[in-house]
Amino acid sequence: MPTIVPFHSEWITFVIIFALIMALIGLSEVLRRRLNISGEHTRQMVHVGVGLLVVTSPFIFRSAVPPAVLALIFIILNLVALQTERLKGMHSTTRTSYGTVFFPLTFLILIGLYWYTDPALLVVGMLIMTIADPAAAVIGTRTRHLRTFTLWHDTKTVQGSLTVFLVTFVIATGVFALARAIDHVTVPGILNLLIIGVCVGIVGMLGEALSRAGSDNLTLPLGSALMLDIMQSLTFREQLAVLGWILLSFLLAYMSYKLKALTRGGAAGAMLLGSIVFSIGGVYWVIPMVTFFILSSILSKIGKLRKTILAGVVAKGSNRDLLQVYANGGVALVMAIVYFYTKQDIFYFMFLGSLAAATADTWGTEIGVFAKRQPIHIVTRKPVPTGTSGGITVLGTSGLCAGAGVLTLSGILPIDYAITLLFIIIAFSGVAGAIVDSILGGTLQAQYSCPQCGKMTEKKAHCGGQSTTLISGHQWIDNDLVNLVCTATGALLVGVLYLLLF
C-alpha cells in the first residue's frame, strides 16, 4: 500500500495523531457539558472521528511500532477513564459499555495480523467498525416501528442489524476493490465481489448482533476482516462453496432452534461459529462439528424426560444458550482461526481434541442420567444424588469414552499418517478433558442450597425465584466455565502429546 511519510521522523506524525485524538475527546467534553449534547451522540462523534484518523495509519506510517504504541496508550487511557468515570463525552452511554477499550484493542490486533502482510484488510476492518456501528445506532434510534430482539444481553433492532449488513457489504466490496486497485493488484470480478460482500456482511452482522457491552467493536471488525481474508484468495467456485457452508450453518442452527436444542441466541452463535469454521476448513472440519452438535442434541432430546426430574438441580436444560455453545465450541473456533493463519496440522488435531472433550462430557452426562445405580462423587467416592456435579456412574463413563471415540473417528478422514496413534492421542485427550470437567464440577464449581426446599443445586435461584445460598465452590466458577476448561484441556493435551510423540 502506498505510503506518504509527512515528516522525517514517524514519531512526529505519531504526536500529531495523538494530539488530534485528544483534541477530539476534549471537544466531546465541551459539547456535552456546555451545549448539553447527549453522551451517546458525543461518543459516536469520537468513534467516527478517531476511526477515520487511524484508518489513515497504513498510508502515513511505514513502521507498525508508532500506531501499535498509540493503540496501547488508548487501551490503558480508556480503561482508566472508565474506571474513574472520566471523559464522559467519549464513554457516556445509556448502557454499560467497554467499546472504547475494545476499539484500540481491535486496532492493535489488526496491526499484528495485517500491517506487514495485507494492510488493506486492516483498513477495511477498521472502516467497517467506524461506520457500521454508528450507522446502526442512528437507524435503530430514529426509525419508527422498530423490531427488537435479544440474542445474549443487549437489545438489538432488526433495522440496525440490516444496516450493519449493508454497510459491511459496501465496504467489503467497494473499499476492498479500491484498495486492490491502489496496490496495483488484480481486482476481483463483480460476481466475486458480490459473494465476498454477502459472506462478510453476514459474519459482520452476526458479530454485531451477538455482542454485549460494546464487544461489537471486537467481533464486528475482526470477524469481517477474517472472513474477507478467507474469501479473497479463493476461486469463484470455492467462494460459492463458502456461501454454501454459511447457508448450511444457518439451516443447522435454525433446525436446532426449532427442535429446541438451542435457544435463539445459541442458534445465532452456532451459525457464526459454523460459518467461520466451515469456511476455513471445508468438509473435513464440518463433519466433526456436525457430528458433535447433531448427536449431542439427539441424546439431549432422548434424555429430556429424565432430565425434567433433575430440572431443579442442574443449572441449564437441554436448550443450549449462547454461552453454552461457545463454552463447548469456542476453543474449536480458536483452533480453526489459528490453523488458518499458520497452516500447521497440529491445530487441526487440537481442534478435534477440544470437540472430543466436549462430546465426551456431553455424552457422559446425557447417557449417565439413565444409570440405575446412584452416582458416586469422583473425588470423595461417596454416593451423591443424580445430577450432582462431579457424580459419575459406570454407564456415564462408558458414554463418555464412546463420545470421545466417535468424535475422533469422524475427524480422522483427512489424516494420512500414524492414524492409530493420532486416534489414541485425540480420544484419550477427549476423555481426560471430560474427567477434568467432572473433577472441577465436583470441587470448584459453585453449588448452592435452596433455603426453602433444602435441595442442592447449581442455580442461583430456586423454588420460584428464591435466592439460594452458596455452600461450596466459587461463585464465579459456573458450568459454562467448567465446560470451557474441559475443551481447552482436550485441545492442550493433544498439542502436548503431539509435540512429544512426533
Q: What whole-number distance in Å separates Cα of residue 39 and Cα of residue 36?
A: 9
- Determine the pLDDT at residue 466: 73
pLDDT, averaged in runs of 10, over the chain (502 residues) = 81 95 89 77 87 94 96 92 69 68 96 96 96 85 81 88 96 95 90 97 96 92 97 94 95 89 92 95 92 85 57 56 93 97 96 97 88 89 83 93 96 88 97 96 86 72 74 86 96 98 92
Supply 406's cell numbers: 466417535
- Determine the pLDDT at residue 302: 74
DSSP code of 383?
A: B
DSSP code of 374?
A: P
Q: What whole-number distance in Å separates Cα of residue 385 and Cα of residue 383?
A: 7
> What are the residue boundaries of the structural domains of the chain, listed by start?
1-117, 141-281, 358-501
Q: What is the pLDDT of residues 362-395, one digit of tens each?
A: 999 888 888 888 899 999 899 988 777 888 999 9
pTM of the predicted model, to two decimals? 0.91
- Determine the pLDDT at residue 254: 92
- Determine the pLDDT at residue 98: 86
Cβ-Cβ contacts under 8 Å for 342 (sequence gap 6 or more)? none
Q: What whole-number distance in Å separates Cα of residue 252 and Cα of residue 375?
A: 34
Cα–Cα separations (whole angstroms), residue 177 to 113, 189, 192, 466: 20, 9, 11, 58
- Determine the pLDDT at residue 94: 54
User: Please, are residues 321 and 263 in contact by the beta-carbon 8 Å criterion?
Assistant: yes
- Determine the pLDDT at residue 460: 74
